[in-house]
Amino acid sequence: MDEMTQLRELRADAPVPDRATLAPGRKRLTDAIEGRSRRTLRLRADWRIASLGAVVAITAAALFVTQIVDTSDPRQPGPATVAGDLDLSSPAAALGEAADFLERQEVPPEPRSDQWIYLREENPDQEKQWKEVPAEIREEMSMSYSPDSWIPYDDKAAENDETDTDYRTARESYRIAAGLPEDPEALLAELRKVFPTGNGPDGPREDKDAHSFRALTVLLESYPLPPDALARIYRAMATVKGIGVTDHLIRDASGRQVIAVTRAYDANNRTEILIDPVDYGYAGRRDVVTRSHELTGPEGTEPIRYKRGDILMDIARTRAAVVDAKGQKP
């Protein structure tokens, strides 16, 4: 049996997933296939498939949507923070408090060109989705799920690859961040140039605020970023129209309590950028359904139903470090 026949027969009754549900499966599989981890956040309609393995994993991904279980209690104190009590009354207050703390931190030296970036990102749903892919296909692809990844700090081949306008290497991202201006409006304008909006075949053009938010979140995923640059990024983020913050800490995919900075990306869903309440580093991302709705697939298939509170993506970054070799852990 050829691969495409096997693919068509696999889960033939599965509903057609939407863009947000496709994203996590596509990202992990295409990263592994290309041989490097591209930590890119996209809010575009263009999610092209790179391989048979990506198609299979994405099909499985559509079958798993997890209900939010937020066990944090806003009446109880959260984790102690080095900056004092958290102020979650507004995005300006929360992000300003984070920026104040980061501006007081010493800027460490830039990583050497021969060093690697180690990341551990917990994604329980994606692990479950991967296990749903038939074993024979996983074996044929010689791939497996792992929350750990290593990215070369200096990746000249990736720097010269112009096919992905959102992707920047760790070194490029560090230097972009370090060179950002203090003024929030000027900073956002600069990032919109660095991470251009979709146009034609690359996806629909975003409005100014949606574009600014995506550019910020793409850069925030990078590691490391100088603390003073991260402070400027947070202050600029607080000025983007539509930004919100939950009034209490929420639980991420690993069970930690984190700050959630939010912004709707359509009428039914929102993105949550997660921030560690202790050191104010990037801690992950969630995409959450804000209004119950359903999506209609091809004729003869059942519509996909989403409930308010369903999580479409839930990634927790639990470790990040500069190391001297691929495979090394701090």
pTM equals: 0.74
Identify any residues that bridge with 311 across adjacent strands, giving them in sequence order. Answer: 66, 288
Count how many residues are written for the chain. 330
Q: Where do we find the tokens 């996806």?
A: 203
Strands (E), 69-139: 116-122
pLDDT at 134 (0 to 100): 82
Q: For residue 266, what pLDDT band results from cuts at 50, 70 and 90?
A: very high
Of 56, 8, 5, 11, the C-alpha closest to 30 is 56
pLDDT at 328 (0 to 100): 97
pLDDT at 154 (0 to 100): 95
Q: How far apart are CA 162 and CA 177, in angstroms?
A: 20
Give me the mean pLDDT over the 161-168 stretch: 77
Q: How far apart are CA 178 and CA 230, in angstroms?
A: 9
Give residue 228's Cα distance to chain centre: 22
Greatest alpha-carbon pair distance for the chain in Å reads: 63
Q: How far apart are CA 86 and CA 151, in angstroms?
A: 33
pLDDT at 3 (0 to 100): 40
307, 67 contact by CB (below 8 A): yes
Of 105, 110, 98, the C-alpha closest to 236 is 98
What Rg, from alpha-carbon coordinates, does the chain have? 20
- Whether 184 has a pLDDT exceeding 80, the answer reads yes
> What would the pLDDT profile of 39-59 be if each residue is shown by its tens digit?
333 333 332 223 323 333 333
Residue predicted with more confidence, 235 or 82: 235
Residue predicted with more confidence, 184 or 297: 184
Give me the mean pLDDT over the 99-107 stretch: 97
- Whether 67 has a pLDDT exceeding 90, the answer reads no
Identify any residues that bridge with 289 across adjacent strands, giving them in sequence order. Answer: 269
Give residue 239's Cα distance to chain centre: 21
Q: For residue 202, what pLDDT band results from cuts at 50, 70 and 90?
A: low
Q: For residue 279, what pLDDT band results from cuts at 50, 70 and 90?
A: very high
pLDDT at 27 (0 to 100): 43
Of 288, 256, 289, 259, the C-alpha closest to 274 is 259
Burial of 135 (0-12, 13-18, 19+ CB in 10 A): exposed
Q: How far apart are CA 133 and CA 44, in angstroms?
A: 26
